[in-house]
Amino acid sequence: MSTEEEAPRSLRRVATAASLFLKRNPPVGARPGALAIAAGAAKPRIHVIAYDAERYFESDVDDVAEVRRISSAHAVAWIDVQGLGDEKVLQQIGDLFALHPLALADVVNVPQRPKTESYEGQHLFICGMLRLDDKGDLHTEQVSAFIGKGHLLTFQEKHGDLFDPVRHRLRENVGLLRSSGADHLAYSIIDTIVDGYYPLLEVFGDQLDELEDQVVRRPKPDLLVRVHEVKRMLLLVRRSIWPLREALSSLIREPVPMVTDSARLYLRDTYDHCAQLVEMVESYRELVSELTNTYMSVMSNRTNDVMRVLTVVTTIFIPLTFVVGVYGMNFDYMPELRWRHGYFIVIGAMAALGLGLMLYFRLRGWLGDPDAPDEER
């Protein structure tokens, strides 16, 4: 299999993921807060984790009313809704937690630009989650989190996510998460989403290293197409990370009652990670631009090499063509035409002239540096 065929499928998947930024809107003239359920959207699956320092409860819930009973019996409850394909269930959850209609519309009418907004009794944080599965395919979706007093309500477009490490820490009571509030749980969720960008950017880095080597050693026309695809992918990732950093900055600066000062300290660390990701994306974009310039320079040098060889060949054959033209004239009195060995003399002179010109060009370096290694010629 060629190197081009071995390109990570995840990168090709990003190239077709422009829909991540194509927002689904309700019909024109619809009331504010109307929900636009996408065709084929996954049915909601409600997973509840409720806990305190001593107790832990985890289960899938089919009845929305059951969520309130579980939440009220524990200090902190994480209600995770995976799938946005049932408007009735989403409205029931919205009524249960008194979600503002516009906030619920932001959750359902995806994708939204990463942002943070305050509502009465809770705070909304929206961001994009990009993750690679075991096969290397990229999955993109919006994650919306409502931080309230004693609860964290999250909405995801699809089933499956990056949050298994957080669930494991809660089950095994690792660290201080079980003894902290919902704001620390929200921090863990946001930090996991931000850290999920690192494997993706590592794939980009490996791909760019491979492209850089091929551009210098084996430039082909399809490489320019692949470089352009990577550039477009990085633009999509940048459009997700940049507003995420702004949303984190707002969450840290604004006086949000549901977020304690201790949680803000951890969120600052997440903000630093996000800033680092932004710098990585920008450096990769600069490298892509340099790869394009390098490719054009290499192809230009190869064209110049071809033209140089053609020019040398033409220069060698010009005097030979002159000799042939002279003796091809139809004059009656040309003494050389009667010579016994005239043909061999002319052929030898032409060969000597051609070899002499080649030797001259070689010494001048027009056919390559005679002292350079074979790899540099």
Instruction: Please give the span between the terminal C-alpha atoms of the chain, in angstroms, as a whole number.
Output: 29
Neighbours of 196 (CB within 10 A): 16
Place of tokens 């054959």: 317
Helix 101-108 to helix 87-96 angle, to the nearest 10 degrees?
A: 140
Distance of CA 208 to the CA centre of its chain: 11
Query: Rg of the chain over CA atoms, in angstroms?
Result: 34
pLDDT the model gives residue 190: 95
Per-residue pLDDT tens for 71-109? 888 899 999 999 998 889 999 999 999 999 999 999 988
Mean pLDDT of 284-304: 84
Distance of CA 198 to the CA centre of its chain: 10
The backbone region for 240, taken as left when phi is positive above 0, alpha when psi lies in -120 to 50, beta otherwise, is alpha
* H or E stretch at 111: none
Tell me the pLDDT band of 373, cut-offs 50, 70 and 90. Answer: very low
Centre a 10 Å sphere on the Cβ of residue 311 and count the other Cβ atoms it contains.
12
What pLDDT does 79 receive? 95
Q: What are the tokens at 66?
A: 């059951």
d(CA 116, CA 251): 7
Residue 341 CA neighbour count, 13 Å, CB half: 4
pLDDT above 80 for 15:
no
Q: What angle do CA 271, 197, 208 make, to 5 degrees?
A: 120
Q: Is the pLDDT of residue 230 over 50?
A: yes
Whether 43 shows a pLDDT value over 70: the answer reads yes
In order of their start, the domains of the chain are: 4-295 (3.30.460.20), 330-376 (no CATH)
Nearest 5°: CA angle at 43, between 20 and 135?
A: 55
Query: Among 32-41, 245-254, 317-326, whose mean pLDDT is lowest?
Result: 32-41
pLDDT in tens, 118-131: 988 889 999 988 87
pLDDT band at 264 (very low <50, low <70, confident <90, very high): very high
Per-residue DSSP letters for 39-51? TTPPPPEEEEEEE
Give the pLDDT score at 268.
94
Distance between CA atoms of 91 and 254, rounded to whole angstroms?
A: 29
